[in-house]
Chain A
Amino acid sequence: MKDKLVRLFLISSIFLTVTIPAVAHHGNAGYEQEKVTILKGTVTEFEWNNPHGQIHFDVTDDKGEVVHWISECGPPLRLVEVGWTRKTLKPGDVVTFYLKVAKNGTPRAILQKMILPDGTVLENRA
């Protein structure tokens, strides 16, 4: 268990030090720039698409209501470089998402990183 944690920490550290290209398909002016929101949700669909992937997931809020979120991630071209495949997510997976959410309050976000059911940490790469 300790080894697993150390490995996870090392993997996370490597991801954090990777240089990420600054320019993507679009800007991110519609999203919170500094604040990172952490949500645990159940994946309903994963679209492995250009110009960006989309992760659809449901989150149960404080009132017990289910909110359907869509988070963008990088394009396959970038994501494969940090360990993603089109099978990385499947419906029913319970995943912890680290997100920059839309400023206007709609359930849309840009993914920063996520923790998969098996504990694997995957960074987004735009």
Chain B
Amino acid sequence: MRNQRIASAILWMAALAVSPALLAQTAPPTSAGGNVLPSKDHVDLSGNWGYGIGVNYIPNGGDAKLGPPADKVPYQPWARDKFLSERPMTGPNATFNKTTDPQMLYCDPVGTPRVWTWPGKYRFLQTPEAVYIIYEFGMTWRVVWLNRPHSDDPDPTWWGESVGKYEGNDTLVIDTIGFNGKTWIDMAGRPQTEKGHLIERIRRVDADTLEITLTIDDPGAYTQTWTYGPKTVKNLKTGFSKAQLICDVRGNQYFDDVVEKPTLPATPSK
């Protein structure tokens, strides 16, 4: 038995010596969650995190139920009017009747920061060049390129262009520009424009806790920058669901027709 072990060790060392390719394929260190960790100098974000961090992204001290100006969101006049004209399906002004929510109506990509309102789990896949964030809800994902500047003139896109860097040994900071202005920043219907600039700070407090803080800077719609959070999410231990939740326009329409529309208050006939 002992001789077998020695022989095995010698063969293994010989293989490594003659084949640099084998060395290159040696697995990098992994965390308990299975993520590939490029170094130990930064935060390990492995875990099954969840759920959403709220429906209304308003400044601390604001009152979402009372709406503007009590919500303390620094709207430009057009953005306030647009927000007030929206018909969201969740939040204090929820209505099923003729919603204007582009995500619910058309299954438009949810984008960020609205994605953090969703009640699903998410995982961070950390690689040397990027962090991939994988969202269970909607079966969607995004990429955060590490340690590189933004493009000079990024194409306007649903998710924008995200670059990131690690800060200290507990935080990932994500900086996103290049939005297409077609998404809402939250579930309640606050607008986002092509001038949007979002900072997301993901801080690992301990093994079971993350803090997510959003800094919303969008001079196309708001007069000042504000911060939402920090909001705590937990390591849920269990992995993604075996079932799938994907937005599907026909499924939404069927549900609204069969279940929701019959619950609407009767409209007086004219």
Contacts and interface: CB of A to CB of B under 8 A. Distances in A.
A64 interface: no
Given A21-B50, A23-B118, A25-B104, A30 B89 contact: no
Nearest to A101: B263
Interface string B107-120: 00000000001111
Given A23-B52, A23-B55, A26-B89, A77 B251 contact: no
Contacts, number: 105
Interface residues of B, number: 39
Nearest to B50: A21
Contacts of A25: 89-90, 104, 252, 255
B258 interface: yes
A77 B239 CA distance: 12
B55 to A, nearest CB: 6
Residue of B241, B243, B247, B262 contacting most chain A CB atoms (<10 Å): B243
A81 B263 contact: no
Contacts of B266: 104
Contacts of B254: 49
Chain A contact residues, majority secondary structure: loop
Interface stretch (B37-45, B67-75, B91-99, B152-160): B91-99
A77 B241 CA distance: 6
A25 B255 CA distance: 11
B244 interface: yes
A21 B265 CA distance: 27
Choose among A21, A30, A79 the residue with the greatest number of B CB atoms under 10 Å from its CB.
A30
Interface of A: 21-31, 49-52, 54, 70, 72, 75-81, 102-104, 106, 108, 126
B185 to A, nearest CB: 15
B89 A77 contact: no
Given A21-B50, A23-B55, A29-B95, A76 B263 contact: no
A81 B241 contact: yes
A54 B258 contact: yes
B208 to A, nearest CB: 13
Nearest to B137: A77
Given A29-B95, A70-B258, A108-B263, A50 B246 contact: yes
A28 B55 CA distance: 14
B259 A54 contact: yes
Contacts of B264: 30, 104
A91 B187 CA distance: 36
Contacts of A81: 238, 241
B157 to A, nearest CB: 25
Given A81-B241, A104-B265, A72 B255 contact: yes
B260 A24 contact: no
B245 interface: yes
B240 to A, nearest CB: 9
A54 B52 CA distance: 24
A51 to B, nearest CB: 6
B262 A108 contact: yes
Contact of A22 (B89, B119, B248, B258): B119
19 contacts: A21-B51, A21-B52, A22-B51, A22-B52, A30-B263, A30-B264, A49-B254, A50-B245, A51-B247, A54-B259, A70-B258, A76-B245, A77-B137, A77-B245, A78-B241, A80-B241, A81-B238, A108-B259, A126-B119
